[in-house]
Each structure stands twice: as C-alpha cells, then as structure tokens.
A and B are shown apart, each in its own frame.
Chain A
C-alpha cells in the first residue's frame, strides 16, 4: 500500500497542514497583485478587512469551542440578539448598550455551555436549539430594521485609528488576546487538554465542566461583540438577517486554518488566515467577474482539502 512513497507524501501533508493556509493566502495575494487592477489600493484593502473582521471575531470563539470537540451554531443568532439589545438600550448611550449586548451574549453562551457541560447535551444539539431560540428572541425584541443616529456607535463602526478601521483594530487585538489565552494561560491549556482527552483531563483534576461552560461563554461574548460592530457599521439594527449563516463561515475559517474537529488543538492565527483566505477568494473571483456559484464551488474544494490535511494527521 504505497508504503514507499508514504513518508515524503506525509511530510508534504504535514507541511500543508501547518502552513498551507498561509501559503494559500500568499499565493492569492500575489495573484491579485499581478492580475487584479486596483488591488493594491488602500480603499480596497480597507473594504476587505472591514468585511472580514466580524467573521474573524466570531471564528476566534468558534476555534476555542471546536478545540473542545464542540461546536457553536448559535453565533449568528447571538449577533442578532446583540443587535436587538443595542437598539433597545441605545437610549442610555452607546457604551451601556454595548455592555448590555455583551451580557446578552454571555447569557446565551452560559445557556449553551450549561446544556453541554452540566446536562450533557451534545454541543450540536444544544447550540442548534439556541440558534433557533435566540434568533426568535431577537426578532421579538426588535421585529424590524431600526436605524439609529448615535454618533458614538456610528464612530465605532466607521472611524479609524491611524488610518486603520477601528473594527479591524479590535479584531486584531482580540486575535492576539485569544492566541495568548490559548497558549499561555492555564485556562487555554486546560481547554486543549480537555479537547484532547476528556476522561484523562477529568482524572487529572481539571475543572472540566467549568472550563467547558466558560468556552461557550467566551464564544457568546465574542459573537455579541461581532454583532454590535456589524450593527455599528450598518448604522441600523437588523435582527432578522444579521449574522445569518455566519456560523458556517466561522466553522470554515477554523477548519481551513487546520484546527481539527476532533479537538485537542487550537490554531488561532491560522483560523484568522482561514477567514482571510475565504474573503480574498470570493473578492478575487468577483473582481474577475466569475459568478458567485464559482466562489462556492472553489470554497468547497478548499474545505475538503483542509479536512483531508487534518484527517491524515489523526490516522498517522
């Protein structure tokens, strides 16, 4: 069975798994620099980054959850809930409204985390229930699109810091924080250990259930923040459609980044690269006048390639 060619093949796969997503982003950038007119324009870069920022933020939480062998399908609905809460509490000012939205995300995360950690519901089922329920709640709170003119909130969505959009700065800072959390804190190491072997972590005295609960809370809060930022950029609260299907983009970013769905490993920077890759890809295809359907097909191929690369590692 192809024993002779296996070692080099495996090495290529191992490399692809480790750096493939960076290489892919690099290749796409190079392609665009050479063949896409106006690609190097600052405005274009800004647009791309601003668009991808909420996905990046949601993906960070998703990566954490997936690292525990879980999944969080509720992120899009939590974004909607955050949008609704922001609209409702904007009267007290932008910052209190933001705080309420984040608390809302934490509560949703607590609900999902408690179901998973303490009741023992499977993550996909628990968060699916939240996906439906929380979206419904958001729609009840704010039944239709509400525009607003709060300058603070609008500034959050559209102002810049040294020429870099605030949204992008926030996403970048959160990425670094998450990388730090995963690599350097007891909590992060415990998350990875629990994902790698839950029974062993339990016997080693790790507070398994508390850690699992917290993981979903973090994911909920990040989703809520992404919801507020997206709302600020839209200058309107739109709980009906905000964040629809973003869980799929987030899962894609995590998987393409090389984090295995089987848990025990979390790749934060690669997750961000995964999100960037998908964003660049659709931008590239659109700029070259290829229809949306092509983007989807190419995305599917990339997802399969990423899953193949991670799969090989598990069966070594």
Chain B
C-alpha cells in the first residue's frame, strides 16, 4: 500500500439520484495504487451505484471523478474500460457458447498472415495465461461447459489482461470453491504488487480480512466509515454496516441462530418429515440416504460440487434419478414430479434465486401465492380474498419490504426477494423445507432475519434441510450435519461434534480431492 502516492481514482462528493431514491449522497472515496479496497454495505447502501459511476454506466448528478489526477467523465462502460478500469461482475458476462480461449482473447486474438486468427497460438497463449491463475483446462471447450469457478477466473484473466489500472470485483467469490478462492487471492496479491488498485465488494467478512487493506462502509448512500481494515474489529464493522449499536450486535451473536442447544427432532415413532433412500444418478449422486425429522434442522456440508444441491433437487423431483425413492411423512412420492412433492408438502428454496426462484415480472403477491394456488382457489378460480390474507400474513411475518403487494418482485432487493420465496413455501404449509444457500448474496440484516426464521420454523415443528457453504451458518443453524463428498454422504455429525473443524475433517477424511 502506498498511501503517500496520489490516488489513481478518486470520487469527490458524488451524488446520484434516481426517481424517488437518493442512491449516493456526497460520497468521497480515494483509491490508491497497489491497495485492495473493500467496499461494503447492506443491499441498497449504494455500492452498485458507486461502482456503476466508476465504470461509466451512470453519470453522477453532482461531484466529480478524478482519474490519474485529472477530472474524468466516462460516457460509456467502454470508455472506462479503455481508460483502464476493469470490472468483474457477480454474473460472469462472457460468451458461453464460445471457447475458453476465444473468450479470453476476444478482440485481441493473435493474427497470422492475411489477418486470419492464428488458432494454435491463441490456444497456447490462453493456456499459458490461465495456468498463471491456477486453471488447467482444455481451452478449446465452450466456456459454458466449465464450472462457474473456472468461468470467473477466465473473466478475471480477461479483465487484467486489458492493461487495467483499477480492477473492480463485485462478489467475485460467490461461485468459487475454497481452493479457487485461494487462487483468486494470490492473483489479487499479484495485482497489488503490480501497483494495480483493486476494489473488492463482498458480503464475506473472512475474505475482506484476508485480502483487503482498507475498507469503506456505505450506508444509505453515505460513507459511514473509511479506514484501514487491520485493527477494525469484526463486530465493529458489522455494526457500521447495520448502523446499529455495537452492544446490540454483540448480544445477537454473529448469526441469528439460537446456539444454546441442539434440537433432537421429534423421533416419537412417527416417520421422518422426509426420508430419501438410495438416491442415485450416474456421475452425480451415489446412493444418498437422508432423513429429516420434524422440528430439526439438518445441515448438508461439503464443497461445491459434492452433490448437495443435487440431493435437494432430487428430493423434490426436479432431478431425474436412476434409482432411489423419497418419502414425505412416510408416504412415497411419485418420482420426478415436483408437483407431487409440493402437494406432499416439500418445498425447495433454490440456490439460484433469479433463474429458478422468482418470476421477475409478476408481483410480490403473485410470487407468494404461486405454489399454493390450488389451495387458494375454488373450482379452478382463484380467490382474491384468500390470497390477500395469506400474502398479508407472510409479508408482515417475514417483514417483506415492498411498496405494495402489487410491486413487481424484480424491483425488490435480494434479501426481500428471498423472503418472498420463503413466503411462497410457507404458504403451502410445508412439512419439510429444503433451503439451498438461503442467505447467499443478501444483506446482513436480511440474513439475520432469515436465520432467525429458520430457527423459529424448526421450533414450530417443521423439518428443515439446510445447505450452506458458510460453515459458521451451518454449525450455528443445524442440529445435525450430514457431510457430502463426490455425490455421497460420508459422515454424520450431531451434538457436540457439530463444529467447523469436525466438518472440515470429515470432508478431508479420505483425503480425496474434490474436483469442481
């Protein structure tokens, strides 16, 4: 970090208004060469808007942007990119059908005579560049056939390769495995050494402390804090983000699960809320057995690609199986039918909220009522009165923040969208809820609320299967943990054994490398 040097990019008193919202209100931020600058804040704090101002997507209403010592006004994202500001977004924006090499070299392919692309050299160069990022793969394959982690690395390699002076990373690790995160960090440290400034946006505190030098906390469009990260206590950081008293946060713990005891589930002779037996699908699942009793939260641990999401999907009939069966409350389900699963009372909150969860253009109300429609109608005609009642109850109980029940769900923040999806399942009065990364990509406040809700639901007698790559969440939220590796359950932890160390030990037990 070279604080003495002039900042490479500086925002001075930037303000940005949208109809009805002040997204940024006099925000100043200086970014120095060779520093990794964490940008944090709850959803709606203004992070995305600030990034979009940096990258030329938005123009500020007031204030100015200083780049390399002179005022800059980027008209378009391309201008910003040409000037040396590269961005890696949450969703990788590359061309999925083209080869890895083509994506990496797009627009600057090595040319042979007659201006024809020299494919041999292109592949060679792509392989060499990616090797530097710890990615060894066939660069001729279409990008979409690779895992998200590898795609992210390609995006990063591409961004850096375009002579960047500033690299902005928006939740870069949200789809990476721990191993890949390590690679990413080593790349970031290399960027630092090269004098490149990095803006790092993430919800994961561990990562911020591992890789960032300074932090700027945004809250309600204003800078709540800016300064070095080392020496800033975690709880202090959280309290800055939440804008709550430190004492209040401390008393709540880091997650909102009640950690004082582990529930045992109601094993009073009744069949489990859900029992899956021998779920098998070639190359994906190998005889997975899972049982969740009413009133307990069972965690599924394991690395990315261990088959956790696939298990959940198989249970609700959304993944075709070669063999295996699922029983809800003792009754076998018709295989391969989500309709049957939902009717029996099993609902899956999917990992990919946008692609598999919300119906973006429909209202909050319709999204909540979707799964329960058959029970909210009479003779095939929907009952507005019934729907209104259910929607009102759950919007209040889950504290869903929307202008009205009729607001399109796509306009809500990620946390509120997630609550809408939870409400969709609660509306069917489920026996078993399968939650796949329920708190991923949502702000700290919503995260705590979702965690508290899961706790509450289990207390009320619901069976919950919880998938989370956040070990802390898993340990504090689950009463029992099944550890998966390579499509099979390899261990079960309960009682005092439910600790982060034991989970990791169980994953590593046979020493097998999980390949993403």
Spell out A's residues near B (CB within 8 Å). 1, 3, 7, 184-187, 189-190, 192-193, 196-197, 199-207, 264-265
Q: Do B382 and A189 touch across chains, with their CB atoms under 8 A apart?
A: yes
Count how many chain B residues have C-beta atoms less than 8 Å from C-beta atoms of the other chain.
34
Indicate if B395 sits at the interface (CB-CB under 8 A).
Answer: no
Which A residues are in CB contact (< 8 Å) with B75? 1
Q: Do B362 and A205 touch across chains, with their CB atoms under 8 A apart?
A: no
Indicate if B58 sits at the interface (CB-CB under 8 A).
Answer: yes
CA distance in complex: A308, B183 (Å): 45
Q: Do B362 and A186 touch across chains, with their CB atoms under 8 A apart?
A: no
Q: What distance in Å separates the Cβ of B147 from its nearest Cβ neighbour in chain A?
A: 19
Q: Which residue of A lies closest to B359 (CB)?
A: A196
19 CB contacts below 8 A, A to B, read A1-B75, A185-B382, A186-B373, A189-B373, A189-B382, A193-B359, A193-B370, A196-B360, A199-B356, A200-B357, A200-B359, A203-B318, A203-B338, A203-B350, A205-B338, A205-B343, A206-B339, A207-B339, A264-B360
Which B residues are in CB contact (< 8 Å) with A1? 59, 75-76
Q: What distance in Å separates the Cβ of B305 from its nearest Cβ neighbour in chain A?
A: 20
Q: Do B59 and A3 touch across chains, with their CB atoms under 8 A apart?
A: yes
Which B residues are in CB contact (< 8 Å) with A203? 316, 318, 338, 348, 350, 356-357
Which of A3, A7, A200, A204 gathers most chain B CB within 10 Å? A204
Closest 5 CB pairs of A and B: A205-B342, A196-B359, A204-B371, A199-B356, A197-B359
CA distance in complex: A7, B366 (Å): 27
Q: Do B380 and A197 touch across chains, with their CB atoms under 8 A apart?
A: no
Considering the complex, which residues of chain B in the window 368-391 have a beta carbon less than 8 Å from any beta carbon of chain A?
A: 369-371, 373-374, 377, 380-382
Spell out B's residues near A (CB within 8 Å). 19, 58-59, 75-76, 316, 318, 338-339, 341-343, 347-348, 350, 355-362, 366, 369-371, 373-374, 377, 380-382, 424
Partner of B374, one of A184, A186, A201: A186
Q: What distance in Å separates the Cβ of A108 from its nearest Cβ neighbour in chain B?
A: 24
Q: Do B343 and A186 touch across chains, with their CB atoms under 8 A apart?
A: no
CA distance in complex: A200, B356 (Å): 4
Q: Do B361 and A205 touch across chains, with their CB atoms under 8 A apart?
A: no
Which B residues are in CB contact (< 8 Å) with A196? 359-362
Q: What distance in Å separates the Cβ of A14 from its nearest Cβ neighbour in chain B?
A: 12
CA distance in complex: A199, B318 (Å): 9
CA distance in complex: A196, B370 (Å): 12
Identify 5 new A-B residue pairs, CB closer than 8 A, beyond the known A189-B366, A201-B359: A1-B76, A186-B374, A200-B359, A201-B370, A264-B359
Which B residues are in CB contact (< 8 Å) with A199? 355-356
Q: Which residue of B lies closest to A7 (CB)?
A: B19
Which A residues are in CB contact (< 8 Å) with B382? 184-186, 189
CA distance in complex: A192, B365 (Å): 14
CA distance in complex: A1, B79 (Å): 12
Which of B342, B343, B370 gathers most chain A CB within 10 Å? B370
Q: Which residue of B lies closest to A204 (CB)?
A: B371
CA distance in complex: A132, B373 (Å): 38
Which A residues are in CB contact (< 8 Å) with B380? 185-187
